[in-house]
Structure formats: structure tokens, C-alpha cells
Structure 1
Amino acid sequence: MDFIRKTSTLICLLAAPLAVAANEGTVLPSLPALLLERHQLVTVDGDLQEAPWQAAPEFATFHQFLPENGKPPPAGLRTSVRLLIDGDALIFGIRAWDSTPAGMRSSLARRDKVAQDQDFIGIWLDPTGHGRAAQFVRVNIDGVLSDGMYRADEDEDDLGPDFPVDAAVRRLPDGYSMEIRWPMSNLRFPYADGKAWRLMVERSVPHAGGLRLTSTPLKTGSLSYIDALQEIGGMGGTVQAVRDRAFVDLKPELTVRASRDRDDAGRQHGNQASMGLEINARPRADWVFNATLNPDFSQVEIDEPMPTGASRIALSLPEKRGFFLESADVLGLPLSAFYSRTIASPQWGLRGTWRNAQADATAMSLRDEEGGVVQRGSVYETAEYEQTRRTLASLVRGRWHRGGMVLGAFASQRDYGDGGSNAVAGFDGQWRGGGKQASWLLMHSQNSAGFVEEPRPATVRVPARSGSYAQGRYIHISDDWWNEFKVEAIGPGFVNDNGFVPQTGVVKTDIHLNRRLGEHDVPLSPFGAAPLRLYELEAHLGLHEIRTLSDAALGQQANQVVERKVQPGIWFRAGRQTDLWANLGFDRQRAHRDGRLHDTRALHFGFASSPLPWMPVLKAEVTLGRQLDVDADRVGSGGNVVVDAGFRFPLGPAGSGWAMESDVRVNRAWIEGTRGRPAFADNGWRWLGMLHFTASDSLRLLAQNTSSSRRDDGVSGLAPWAERGSHRSLLYRHLWRHGRSLSVGYARDRASEANAVNGSLTVKMQWEV
């Protein structure tokens, strides 16, 4: 604790002058709006011929973001935006011209599956004006929406939140027109003294070489995608008029399930009906309350197979449940501090969020049912224990911000009742300005909850032990460089059961140096082809090292190298939205504290592309070379390969008719033995097919197989074993409108352990009022 106190004092002293010197950035031209009178009504039908649209000022200054950043947009692809504001919503009218409209690409797709291979319009809106987060929506020319929350500090977006946005598109002989209505009741902003609302409008034109246009001069390689936002002009007293408007959304759900299970112990069957409820309330603009009671997540799409090879370190998984993604911009914590996937089956949950012009806060509490998995990290592995009792997970978080500076604090607890508890407190900060970003996180934990496996799994109270965590990160960006430095120290006694901490008792250091080399033409004359245009080219050097901290309880000595990587490489971006990277890995790894540091040199490379209109996604990540078999403490030739491919097939004329999506993932990790065959193999494949009958009706088929096995490697003497698993599910869904749906699904899971087979038929209805 003394370490944290001293370090925090030093950080605050260093940060103070940075807050004053934060660069607010260049002032960009505003996007003007027209305030509508009460009697003026606009129908969202994609037609921009109504009188209010003709009276609204036009904004038509767009810039090329990709593929050739900073160059003028093509003449035949003019874009204009008009903005209307009525008493309840922002209404955007977009006119997109296209000199080759036959080349426009789109089809019906799942919500949140609007991607760069489609013609779409995107709106990134920051009602707080701070530039640290934005709500966004993308609408393709078939009216499919993707929406969510973007966080600038991590340069990542969460697609979980679904906003009640209405959109309509009309295809025209020379392009298309689009209307997007965004209710202000779903925007998050301070009650008073807030900054001007800011936004950016983007347009994707895939048939023009993966062209993306933005309404602001955003540079590639910026600290975030919302580095350049423009103010909304002409809002007048809109904020004052809507900030006191209250709303309450109630979404009851009814779930009926019939299950049939069997294993070596016999057969079981059951029928179950349950009611759930979600409540979202906003008494005024700066307060939002959320509650969930008995939610059912059975029809949430299962996770993709994640090959870890022979490693014992766990990987994090993305969150897909909407309740946990609300107010993610205020929470703003890395996974080590809060990881919502630790809450597996909540019985109920409550959350409140407050936003002020210079501060914000959020608090949540959830009751989690037994049956989940608790992960506890150590130096060389992540142990997993069964959660044998109900727990109470709670967190409170507050932040203060000014200019480019943010300072925050939080406290969380996982209460196991008479089995002990785990409490964590910490504070963090960030400074941004002038192409630089610095962030830090300090935490301290006290834990009295332990787990035993024999004679049966149980949670038990243990003597309290404390531990600390510290992380610092610095990013510097210029026209010639993109560099990142990160140090993370996790004490051997640190435990956070509400966070993701797969390793403890280590210090991790990461350095990434990227020399930006600009555009290049690669001659291909020996092959009789035109030069290959590289829109961006970077030379890369990655340095990574993990060393141990002393732990007397486990007899672990300090300063032992667990892993070291030196990886020079290159990255470039070419046509057809193609990115390719390759690194030479001069790597070394250790399997356990008494093992030696193995040479694990390998070639690492990957690519992502949109090669064809009907194959918009093709990407792969590959590692080939010497692989460490952790259990055997030996190295063998092998690799790790993950390939993803996506297919889209419109089954009718453009803008109408059925459509089909087909996404395929194949992964394999293997390590060769001494007998001419793999000593270890981990395989998986997944196929997700979606048939869209209309924009409201779809059928989803998901098939997934996983297998892993060990054979005699001729050296270690480890016993052979094999495990297999499979999942099949079919789901029909009808959507009346946002928040009102009916779904019928069947799922079947099979596992080789105990020959278990689980099948269930589920009918679920949600009806938002």
C-alpha cells in the first residue's frame, strides 16, 4: 500500500502541468443544423424532398480517409449532409452521389454487421464534447444498422448497446439518399455547463478501392477514430429544452424451455418457464438507471473457438450482453480492473450512472448464481475453480476530467458470504494532447476467499492476503513514428475476482516502435503486372518481456525470465482493403519455474482483405516455427493457424429479396513429437449461416466443433488423452421493431467427457414498452 501511495503522489505532481498544457486541437468548421417548429413534421422515409430539408443548410466538405489519406475525394462521389433538430431527435439527411451506382454493394445482414465491404453512412456523435467517447451508428443502403459505443482511450468500440434509431434509404439513379432519426433521449450528456455537441459523418464506398470519406480531416494513425470531430452549429437552446425530459423503458421477457440431457449417469429432462425484466430509466439528462431481473442469455451467440495451443494462460472473451455495456464510456477501465464475463448468470443487477460537465460516476451491483468459473492467475498458469455458491459483485467508479486530463478512482468487491470476500481499490489517470497519450492504473487488493477441489469443490475462507498492481502506458504519434511503451507489474498476492488477471507475480514490459514510411509502389514488371501500390508502409520492432517477482509463499525467486520476444517486421495496406503484416520472432519461453528458457523462434504473419463482392472477409493469423509444449517442457516444430472467411449472397434484386450470410472459422494449433506425428493438437471449426427473409425475419444456423488431444511424444512419457465437443443450434427470430422480438431456437451440445449430450428447445419473447 505504501508503494501505491508514493507512486500516486508522484504521478499527480507530474500530471498537474500536463492538464494545463493539454492541446485542445484545431477548430474545425461546424455542421449547421436547422431547428424545426412544433408544426413541422418530417417522415423518415429516405426522401429529402420535404420543405424542411430544402430549407436546411447543406454541409458538403468531405475528406478522403482511406485508402489515400488527405487526397481529394473522387469527383463522382460527392456527399452532402443536412441536419434537422425537432423537440425529440436529431434527424440527418444524407445525399450520396455515385457515378457508377451499379457498383454499390450491400445486402441484408445481422444487426451490428455493417462493415467496410458495404456502402454505408456512419454518424459518430459525442454529446459531452470531451472527445473521449462517442455513440455511433452505421446504416448500409439496405437499411441494416450497426451501433454502439466507442472509447478513444483504448481505440475500441462496443457493439452491444442498441439505440432506437430509425433509418430509411432510397436508391436513386445516381446514388442514394438516407434519413437517420436519433432520439435525444438515448444520448448521454451533462445537465448543465456542458461543451458543444460534436460529431463526424463518414461514408463507405467499397467499389471505389475501399474508399472511406469523413466530414473532418481525420488522419490515419491518429490516437483514435474520433480525434477530429466538428461542432454542431445552430442548436440554440435544444439542450436546455430536452435535458429535463424523463423516460422509462420496460422490456419484459418470457422464456419457455424444454431440455433433454443424458450422460453416463443416466437421462434427465425438464420443462421451465421464466419471466425476466429490463428497466432503463432517465429522470433527466445526467442520470441513467438500469436494472435487470432474471435475464436469460441462452440465445446469445456462443463464443468463437480460441486456440491457445499448449499454453496454460487464459484468454479474455468479448462481452455480448447489453446490460454490461451500458455506460462503458464512464466505466473506462481495462479488463484487469473490471471484466464483466466473471459474472456468468446474474439473478438480478442494478446500475446507476451520473454525468457532469467535469465529472462522472457509475455504480453497479449484481447477484451471480452458482455454476460459473473463477479464474486465479499465477506466474505460469491460470487456475480455474467452480463457483459453488451465489456471490454479490459490486463496483463504484468516479472520474474527474478537464481538458486532456482524466483522473479516476474505483472500488469493487466480490462477496462469497461465509466463504470470504475479495476487495479491490484503485485509481487511474490519463493525459492526451499533441499526438501523445499517457495513462496509469494503480490497484490494491485484499482477499480472504479460497477454493478447494477435494473432497468436493467448495469456496472456503482463508487467511487474508493483500497484493498490488501497477500499470503505465505511453503512446507517441507523429508523421514519421507510431510508438508505444507499456509496463505492468502484478504482485504475487494480487487477486481481482471482478477483473481479468491471468498472471500474477510478474512484471510485463512491452515496447512497439513503428517507423511510418508513407506510400510506395512495388515494381512487379518481372511478372508482367502493374506496380503494387502500398498506401501505407511501416517498419516494426516489437520487444516483449515477462519477469517474475519474488514470492516467498510459493518459493518463487525474483527476476526469472518467463518469456522474451524480439520481433522485427513490416506492415502495409494495399488495395481491396488489404492489410498484411509479418514478423520474425526471436522468442524464448519458459514452461515452469524449474524449467529452462527454451528457444522458440518462429515466423508470425497475417493478413486481412476484402477480395470479392461476394467474399468481403478473408483474414488469417499464422505462426510457424518452434513451439513450446508446456506440459511436456519441450520444444517441437509446429504452429498456430486461424483463418476466417465471410460470404454474402443477395438472393434477389438489389435492395429487395432474401439474402444469405455465411461465416467460417478454422483454427489449428499443433506441436510435433519425435515419432513423426503431432504430440499435441488443438483443432476447431465454426460455421455460422444466416438466411434473411426480410429486414425483420431471419434464420440462424450455427455449427461448431472443437477437439484437442495428446499422443506419446517419445520423450516426456505423458499419458495420451483426447477431448471432443460440438455445438449445433438453429434460431428463428422475428423483430417487430426495436425492443420487440420473438425467437424460437433449438440447441444441442455434445462433450466427450462422460458422453454428455444436452439438448434444449427455447421460445423467447421480448416486448419493450
Structure 2
Amino acid sequence: MNSNKRKAFVSALASPLIGLLGPAVLAAEALPGEAARLRVKLLAPTEAAPRIDGHLDEAIWAQVPPHDGFYQYEPADNQVAPSELRTTVQVLADRDALIIGVRAWDKPEQIHGVLTRRDQVYRDQDFISVWLDPTGRGGAAQFIRVGVAGSLADGLYRADEDKNDFGPDFPIEAAVQRLSDGYSMEIRWPLASLRYPYVDGAPWRITVARSIPHADGMLLLSAPLTKDDLNLLSRQQQMEGLDELLGEVRDRSFLSVRPELTLRQRRSREARDSKASLGADIHWRPRADWVFNATLNPDFSQVELDVPTSSGASRIALSLPEKRAFFLESADVLGLPLPAFYSRTITDPRWGARATWRGANADATVLSVNDDQGGTLLRGSPYLTEEWRQTRVSQASLVRARWHGQLASWGLLASARDYGEGRQNRAVGLDGQWRGALGEGGQGQLRWTMLRSDNTAGFDEDGNPWRSPRREGSYLSAKADYRSADWIHEIDWQWIGPGFVHDNGFVAQSGVRNTEWKITRRLGDPSLVLAGSTLSLYDLEATLALFDSRTLADPTHQIPGGEVVERRFQPGISLWAARRTNLWLDLGLDQRRARPYGRLHEIPAVHLGFESAPWPWLASISGEFTVGRRLDDEADRVGRGGNGWLEAQLRFPLRGGWSLESDHRWSRAWVRDPAGQPAYIESSWRWLAVLHLSPRDSLRWIAQNTLLEHRADVRADIEPWAERERHRSLLYRHSWGHGRSWSAGWVRERAPGRESRELTVKLQWEL
């Protein structure tokens, strides 16, 4: 390696550390430049808004300046869109909504789209997506996707995590028209569903995307984003012409009351009962910067069943995504890691209330929920996540506030869980974020969190709740990301004190110090010669993942300090090819310990993963597999084994405008004993099918089996045990507008010691 290359290599490695240790000493540089601005046409009081039918032939559209500067982002970035796939976008606005018109040119026989359930519009379909940031800060955006068949997906995108959350639903109205040379689309986005400051807010920003599956999964953006950018909001377009409108409508009040009536008949081995319950969701936006929402006696029985996840013989709990609408309102204001807030800890709320405020340079939210008994509380330790049943009603409360600068933000959090009789769990803390340019062509981001907890809500040896002696603990974390044309670095450090307990957060482990560093070298777009033919690759990366987890001294539970819990050393390679295909292979030279003072086991293994979208009917197929030496934590023994999962999403258009979604998932984990016999087995199978009879009518079927089994082990003093669960459910739903639907469902469940059948009819309407 010559001197210049050595300097560049050292600089690339050092940049994220400089960002982690001393961002304040760096010269403040603005984020990358933005795309050409998008001009919005305001409708005069005498002008009628166009009808949302997908046609762009009304006279008003001729007065709206079109934006046609689209750029490739995938599979190859930083290229102008092909002329034969020209796309234009126009935006109108009146006192009630933004109206977005899109014209997309293409060969009609190559356009693909089928009806899907909400939030299932993926890259196997032709669609138009809009990311809208009404705060103008680049930290989060509300987004919508509209497929050419008329299906919708929407939610919230968080830039710091670079992730989409499909939980929130907005009252979007959209229509699509197929044309002889492509398609046209109209989208109506009500201002009542947008969250923005009352005064002095930054200009709104927007990005419009177009998915074109037949062109090798091409994704076009209205802004020249590259894969070197930290997130999708780095180069959004600024919207012009909205100031006058926002000044007029910022004082308008919007109120939505959505009652729901649920009738349920349940039959089990022990009893048979019928029940009727009435609940309601309330949303009130008195003006632009405030929103209040409440839920009364909500019924979550028809929220889609969680997909089974495999722990791979580990005794550390895994987190699950939130799907309940009440907890997803203004989720970007929380913007916290899982240890700070995890809404799945609230199981069955009797009622909940929340208020959120957004200013030009600050925002805040207050949440309080009364949770009924029956949920599960998680308490972490270095080697085990203990689960305790919540036998009392609890009150979960949270206060969150943030202040925003051009490149940095600061926040505070106060959280409490009150179980009565002096049993309380509380936490307070600070957090911050910084992002900006680092060096030549590089971008960096730093996030940190500090929390302090005190707890008097304990459990005795029999699992009964009691007021325990007060114990305090701390949680510290810092995460740094760095990206350039050649390098990607991710550094994550956590310090979770032995006494840290936070029942409103997700704390699967405590009493540990974790350090993780992933280094990625981007090798460009080479080609491989296989069997005499050349395979074009869009990107090739070499990776090295390092992880070290050690215990912190805990005299209370007799755990020594500095004991290695887990080490990972995983060199690997990944590549991107045609049909949105991604392959990765890692060699795991890892170590793990199952219990205090136990042996540190060598667990070498090979990790393989892939994802692809090969054909229109096979929208996606993906999987991850590990084979090698695996640790059975319960027996504290290593054996041959592995774990893996495989998913396939199938989409079929049917006659008469019908369509069928058929999603499948299989997973399995196993460890063999020294004799070669299976000692631990964990497997699951899930089939979800949705028959769409029309855009308003659907029939959903879920079949799911899970099995956890451990064979007897005399040496480890383990009695044999097995847990088998089966779920079958059928749900018919008819909707006639946002927030208006009725549904009827049937569920049958079997688990150890219980079996039940349930019939449910639910009516939801919006006043």
C-alpha cells in the first residue's frame, strides 16, 4: 500500500471516531445541496379543485408548472432518468389539501400492479411515492405510496434510523388511469393529517419517487440522491408558493371521532362467554402545531398477528414492531432508541391520552396510558431476559421534549410506570444528535443517550409483585455513522448498568457493556465471469463486523465484572445484481458464554443471506441461514446446529379485477447433542393469504404453527419440555372510506393447556 493510499485508509477509519469524540471542534458544514425547487400552484377561491379520478385533463392542470427532473437511485445512482421513462410531477394546493398530479410514460404491457392490502405496496409493483417533510428539518417525513392498481401504503420515515414505519395511516384519496403510453395519477393529501410549526417554520420539502420493476427494479427520484448520502431526506426539494396558504390555514381546527363497536363470542374448554364493547379514537388538531389524540377502551383483536421470530436457542428477548395506530401518532417526536421507549410494553390499555406540539426549533409530546393487567414485563440481565406477569393495573406516563439546531438536536425524557402500593419504575434522561459533512465527500452522524432509572417494583421468588428496596441504574449509548464514496463505518457503544430497569422501554439485557463496529469497503460495480458469461454487478462490498460484550460487576447478583458474554469477528462480502438481488456471506469466528462463571464457547459458523424479486408473481423471496457450531444456552453446551428463515411473497392478478396475496414464512433453529441427536428445536410456519374482491372488500386467512422443544439432558439436569401453538383465523373486511369499515372474523388457537374459538364482529365509523 503506497503512502497516499495508506493516508486515505487511515483517514477513512479515523473520521467516524473524530465525529464520535469531538464533533464540536469540526468546522460546521451544511448538508449536501438540494435539488431544483418545486413550485406549488395555489388555487384561488373561485377555482375548483380537480376531481380525483386519475385524469390530468382538467384546465387547471395546464396552469401548474411541471417538474420533470428525475434521477436514478437504484440500481445505479447519480444518473439522469431514461428519456423513454419520463416522469413529471405537479402540485396544487387549496385550503383543505395538497393535490399531486403525476404523469409517467412507459409501455403499458410492461406496467405491473395488483391489489394488495394496505401498506403492502412494494418494489414488485409500479408505484409513485411521496416523502413530505412539513417541518423542513430533514429529520423525518410522512410518506405515501400509490400502486398502479390503486393500493395504498403510508407511514413515517425516520432519517436517523433510515427506516420506514408503515404503522400510521393517513386519509389519502388517490386514483390512477392506465394510458396507451403509460399512466397518470392524482393524489389528494389533506392538510389536517400533516404536522408542522405554527410560525417561523422552515420551507416544506418533498421527494417524489417512481418504481419501475421491469427496468431491473429501477427507482427514480425527483432529487439527485446518491448511496453515499446518510438517508433519503438528505437532498429533498424545497416547495415554493405555500407561505400564503399556510398562513391562512394554520388556525383551522380539525376534529375526528372514530367510535368502534365490537361483538365477541368466545368458547374455551373452561367457559363460554359473549361480550359487547364500545370504544373510540379521538384526534383533534386545534391549530397547525398542536394535536391531541385519545383512545378509550380500544380493541386490538384484529391487529395482524406477529410474525414468529427465532431466538436461536438464546435466552435474550427480541423486540417486535408496533402496529397499533394510537402509539404511532407523531412517533418521530419521540425519536428514541428502544431502551428509552417501547410501546409494546403497554398490552391492553383501558384508556390513553396524548398531546404533541411542534415549533420551528422545538417539539414535545406527553403520553399517559392506563394499562390493564395481563401483560408481560421484561427484566434484563447479562445472560437472560426474565419475564414477569403484570398482575395489577398500571399507569404508564412519558414526557418528551427536543430542541433543534441546523446540524444538531438535544432532547430530554421523563418516564414513569406506577403499579400502585408504592411500586414504581421511573427513568429520566438526555439525548442528542449531530449530523453534517466530514472530510472530503464524507457525511457523518452521531447519536447519544443517557438515562437514569430508579425502581421499587420487584418480584419475589414465586413471581409475586412486591415493593422492593429502591435500586438505581444508568444507561449510556453512543452511535456514530460515517459514509463516503468508498467507506461506510458504523460504531455502536452501550453501557447498561446492573440496576437499570425501565418498564416503559425495552431492556433485554442489563449489567453489560457492548461495543460494535462494522466496517464496509465499497468496491464499486465490477463484473464476474461465470461459465463463459458475464454477470453484471451493481455494487460489491467487503465487510468486517466486530462485537464485544462484557459484564459489569454486580455484587447483588454475584456477577463478576469484565467477563466476556459474547465476541464476534465476522468478515464478509455482499453484492447487488439484477432483479434487485442482494447476496451476502459472512464467516463467523465467534465466542459466547451462557451463564456467569461458565465456559466461553467457540461457536464458528457460516452466515448466508439473500433477497431477490425474480418475477412479477414472486414479488420477493429472501432468507438468512447460519450453519456451524451453536450454543444451547439452557444446557450450556455447544453442538452442531444452525438457524434460518425463508420468506416468499406471491402476488397473482385474477379475473374480474380480483387479486390474491400469498405470503409464506418458514423458520427453524436447532442444536444437536454430543451423540448427534437434536437437543433443542425451534420451528415455525406461517401462511397469510388475502383475496381482494375489490379495492374495498377483502378476505384474509392466517395459519401459523410454532414449536419449541428441548429433549431431556441428564448431564445438564434438564427435564424434557415442549411448547406447541397453532393459530387459524379468517377475517372479512369491507371499507367505505378512511376510518369507516365493518369486519367479521373467526379465530381458533391452541396452546399448552388451553384451546379457544372466537367469533368477532366489529364496526368502525368516523364522525
Counterpart of 1:178?
Answer: 185
User: Are 2:244 and 1:237 aligned?
Assistant: yes
Residue 419 of structure 1 deviates from its aligned partner by 5.0
**Match status 1:452 vs 2:460:** yes
Contact 2:621/2:647 (CA < 8 Å) preserved in 1? yes
Give CA-to-partner distance per residue, 1:624-673, whole Å, 9 cap, x none.
Answer: 00000011111001000100001000002xxx610000000000000012
**2:494 alignment partner in structure 1:** 488
Say whether 1:758 aligns with 2:737: no
Instruction: Report what 2:519 is aligned to.
Output: 513
**How far off is 1:453 after superposition?**
5.5
**2:453, 2:502 within 8 Å by CA — same for their partners in 1?**
yes
Deviations 1:246-296 (A, max 9, x none): 01000000000000011xxxx201000000010000000000000000000
Q: Which whole-Å CA distance do the structure 2 matches of 1:394 and 1:723 have between them?
A: 35
Match of 2:450 among 442, 454, 476: 442
User: Where does 1:90-101 land on structure 2 (aligned, <5 Å)?
Assistant: 90-98=98-106, 100-101=107-108
Counterpart position of 2:678: 678
Residue in structure 2 matched with residue 4 of structure 1 by the alignment: none
Equivalent AA in structure 2 for residue 505 of structure 1 = G
Distance 1:638 1:714 in 2: 20
8 A Cα contact 1:673 1:712, kept in partner = no
Q: In 1, distance between residues paired with 2:92 and 2:307? A: 42
Match of 2:165 in 1: 158
The match for 1:464 is 470
CA distance in structure 2 between the partners assigned to 1:429 and 1:307 by the alignment: 33
| Helix, strand or coil at the partner of 1:162 | coil
Aligned position for 1:693? 693
C-alpha deviations, 1:160-199, integer Å up to 9, x for none? 1110111000000110000001111111000000010000
Name the counterpart of 1:196.
203
The equivalences for 1:298-697 within 5 A come to 298-418=301-421, 420-434=423-437, 435-452=443-460, 454=462, 457-524=463-530, 527-528=531-532, 530-652=533-655, 657-697=657-697
1:33 partner letter: V
Tell me the equivalent position of 1:36. 43
Structure 2, gaps ≥5 residues long: 1-18, 438-442
The SS at the match of 2:248 is helix
Q: Unaligned regions of 5+ residues in structure 1, if any? A: 1-10
Match of 2:766 in 1: 768
Q: Note the alpha carbon deviations across 1:51-83, whole angstroms, 9 max, x for none.
A: 110111011010000011112322210000111
**Aligned mates of 1:445, 1:249 — CA distance in 2:** 37
Contact 2:40 2:239 survives alignment (8 Å):
yes
SS at structure 2 position matched to 1:531 = strand
Q: 1:705 to 1:639 in 2, by over 3 A?
A: same
User: Which of the residues 182, 207, 222 maps onto 2:229?
Assistant: 222
SS in 2 for 1:462: strand
Aligned equivalent of 1:743: 743
1:111 equivalenced with 2:115 (yes/no): no
| 1:676 Cα deviation after fit | 3.2
Asked whether the 8 Å contact 1:675–1:714 carries over to 2, the reply is no
**1:670/1:681 contact within 8 Å kept:** yes
Deviation at 1:234, TM superposition (A): 2.1
Deviations 1:422-466 (A, max 9, x none): 000000000011110011000000000002353xx4321011000
Q: C-alpha offsets along residues 25-72 of structure 1, whole Å, 9 cap, x if unaligned? A: 314210111111122221010010101101110110100000111123
Cα deviation for residue 238 of structure 1 reads 1.3
Task: Give the Cα–Cα distance (whole angstroms) in 2 for the partners of residues 716 and 493 of structure 1.
Answer: 30
Q: Which amino acid aligns with 1:605?
A: L
Contact residue 288 and residue 354 of structure 1 kept, 8 A: yes
**Equivalent residues of 1:149, 1:158 under 8 A apart:** yes
CA contact (8 A) 1:22 1:432 kept: no
Runs of 4+ in 1 over 3 A off after TM superposition: 11-18, 712-717
Q: Secondary structure in 1 aligned to 2:360?
A: coil
After TM superposition, give the deviation of residue 713 of structure 1 in Å. 5.5
Q: Give the deviation of 1:12 after TM superposition.
A: 13
- Residue pair 2:679, 2:710 contacting (<8 A) in 1 also: yes
Taking structure 2 as the reference length, the TM-score comes to: 0.95
Q: CA deviation at 1:22?
A: 4.5
Amino acid at match of 1:557: P
C-alpha contact 2:403 2:411 (8 A) present in aligned 1: yes
8 Å Cα contact 2:635/2:718 also seen in 1? yes
Partner Cα separation in structure 2 for residue 568 and residue 615 of structure 1? 31
The residue identity in structure 2 corresponding to 1:698 is: S
| Aligned-partner Cα distance in 2 for 1:676–1:636 | 8
Q: Is the 8 A contact 1:471 1:487 kept in 2?
A: yes
**Which residue number in structure 2 is paired with residue 84 of structure 1?**
92
Q: Distance in 2 between matches of 1:12 and 1:173?
A: 54
C-alpha distance in 2 between matches for 1:178 and 1:453:
62
The 1-side partners of 2:24 and 2:546 are apart by 31
Instruction: Pick closer, same or farther for the CA change 1:492–1:92 going to 2, 3 Å.
Output: same
Q: Does the 8 Å CA contact 1:310/1:629 hold for their aligned counterparts?
A: yes
Separation (CA, whole Å) in 1 of partners of 2:387 and 2:543: 36
Instruction: Report the counterpart of residue 716 of structure 2 in structure 1.
Output: 716
Mean CA deviation greater in 675-684 or 757-766: 675-684
Distance in 2 (CA, whole Å) between partners of 1:80 and 1:511 is: 42
Q: Which segment is superposed worse, 444-453 or 52-61?
A: 444-453
The residue identity in structure 1 corresponding to 2:293 is N
TM-score w.r.t. structure 1 length? 0.95
* Counterpart-to-counterpart distance in 2, 1:540 and 1:204: 29
Question: 3-state SS of the aligned residue for 1:300?
Answer: coil
Change (3 A) 1:27 1:718: closer
Q: Give the aligned residue type for 2:37.
A: S
Measured against aligned partners, the alpha-carbon deviations of 1:139-171 in whole angstroms (never above 9, x if no partner) come to 000111100011101111211111011100000
Distance in 1 (CA, whole Å) between partners of 2:95 and 2:743 is 35
Deviation at 1:674, TM superposition (A): 2.6
Query: 1:299-334: per-residue Cα shift (whole Å, max 9, x none)?
Result: 111111111121110000000001101111111111
Rounded Cα–Cα distance in structure 2 between residues aligned with 1:304 and 1:37: 49
Deviation at 1:717, TM superposition (A): 4.6
Shift of 1:242: 1.1
* Partner residue in 1 for 2:440: none
Aligned amino acid, residue 89 of structure 1: A
Alpha-carbon distance, 1:14 to partner: 5.4
Q: How many residue pairs were aligned?
A: 743
Which has the higher mean CA deviation after the structures are superposed, 718-727 or 137-146?
718-727
For the Cα contact (< 8 Å) 1:674–1:714, is it kept in 2? no
Residue in 2 that maps onto 1:56: 64
Quote the offset at 1:761 in angstroms.
0.3
Letter in 2 for 1:64: Q
- Separation of aligned partners in 2, 1:617 and 1:430: 35
In the alignment, the residues of structure 1 paired with residue 710 and residue 393 of structure 2 have an alpha-carbon distance, to the nearest angstrom, of 36
1:45 aligned to which of 32, 42, 53: 53
State the partner residue of 1:272.
Answer: 275
**Equivalent AA in structure 2 for residue 522 of structure 1:** L
Query: CA shift at 1:518, angstroms?
Result: 1.0
Cα distance, 1:166–1:156 mapped onto 2, change above 3 Å: same
What secondary structure, in the 3-state scheme, does the structure 2 residue paired with 1:240 have? helix
The CA deviation at 1:734 is 0.3
- 1:86 CA displacement: 1.2
